[in-house]
Structure 1
């Protein structure tokens, strides 16, 4: 069953949720930090550190190799392994080229919606978690709540990996991880895998009046793009998992660049593409099929002109699929807190698969609708923020002594 509509959390709790006004004020501050993935997130991390310090909660940074970004890990209500982690990424996608009706880095409320870059994906969740910190502190938790704030999720889920590698070593290993990506507070137990590639075609330059003396790299790249379309059509016919929308693996080309001038046969061309695979699909199948096509249909003709002709495909990054186990503690907990009777799937990728592979059962559940993420006038509704705060109040009730 695919994600179709937003659902409100219905936690079994007698604890009053944190203040919506407080969560909104925190979201205003978080949105004010331009944490586009190409930029540093350290100012946002410092703000969260100071906020936690104000509540007498220590935290640990896991800094990137260049020192420009950091993950944050904090524990409330105890130490050691176990407990539940609440995980959200701090980075957001660019706003360039989008037509916003308000400043994307200044929170704006209109008609019950909070507009700003990252409100939905996923600073709204982080704001709700921070607003709930006093509730977690006073709940006398029998096991801890861990806070995880990561970076570079939008460019391949790379930033959280060093932190995950330390879980169970010098950082506590949670028994469950709730990744607060926008799901309309529905409980998500699976998502697709993503593999990103760059294919580069090397040809030979020549005067455009004598194209036979050259090898047109753009023409070869265009043939490869068309082949990817054909492979995608074949995959769509061979796969059918009705839990996903679309119910098959998908292939898309995102960017293409080549040539130097209209009167020069282009020597090089490259294009970036990606495969979003079902959890049961083989991630190596599509690049292997493209390579076979290149070897059989394109390279013999290209090399007949020049031995320097080549077609190279390199993997840029991969994010594993997420498929929670049938007895997942994380999924069971999220179902209990939301009052939902079933789980759903999404086709976008998250950090949940990385937590799951590291032995930390994960689930995805957070405020907002993915349809608003990455778009101009991104927003999260106040209703969704309230539902998330109620969910977190239910968690505090569940974990208290």
Structure 2
């Protein structure tokens, strides 16, 4: 009683002597945490617990030992049990689920449909005078970059993807300019099964066509309307040559090193595909940014990749207090043209705290995206 216990030294000595399993025999475990700290990697298990002092608790502790590789003499615990034969071949570790894109394969022409011509849309239904419908079933498991866009703990289809879908549908039908788009509700993507996504184009009226983006989880679920907009004829993208010289002359560098850490703390779960902002500069009320296009096998097929378009807007967060989550709400005057795989140059004119106009060029200075007005909420 007059000496120190030296519990840690005793446990370490046992571990050094190659004792790898420790069982605390008591009415409630009080030493297991200390043993785990003193002998990292050892198997440490209790026996009984407070208010759990019966045979069931003792057998559960024996099972905890057994599943960690400690031999247990089960015949003494279950004298009436008998062993059964196991397969004589080693278990084959193979995935049950197929790796194909859900709903993305097969000959849609045999079903009376046309190919969707888009990474997220597998088929096109022509409704004649009533318009047309693109449909697909995107899932974060089939498109890994989608899993990198989480907001408040849920994986969302990025608002920039909704814009890209609408413009892609418009370009295919001769209405490539997105005059306006309002986003109402996010499209939440489950891990595996995905959602049925539709892009609906209505009939032409006075030189414009309405567009809507909807989704539903299952066949018996109601459709959720995510966005409504209007497509019109468009012209060439504006090119004043401002992004030809890079970095922009006279602009002061802006520190971006802790941006994604701050965004993560604010509730934006951006994975690597969406952490594309590489550098930023400021000149008066104008922000400039350089954005890396996401890599991977599924990065092609878009006009401008939604992850890169999303990252182009991240510069708006550089000088803001991130006291809440802001997502895209409305877009006006959007023009897109195919961008190459290189880095993108971004110009953001910021007239107010929640809005901006956007111009994006490829790494040669050729414009690939123009947004007259973007508003977030």
Flag whether TM exceeds 0.5 (same fold).
Answer: no
Q: TM-score, normalised by structure 2?
A: 0.19
The answer to which structure has the higher helix fraction is 1
- The structure with the larger Rg is 2
The answer to which structure has the higher strand fraction is 2
* Larger RCO: 1 or 2 (CA < 8 Å, sep 6+): 1
Q: TM-score, normalised by structure 1?
A: 0.19
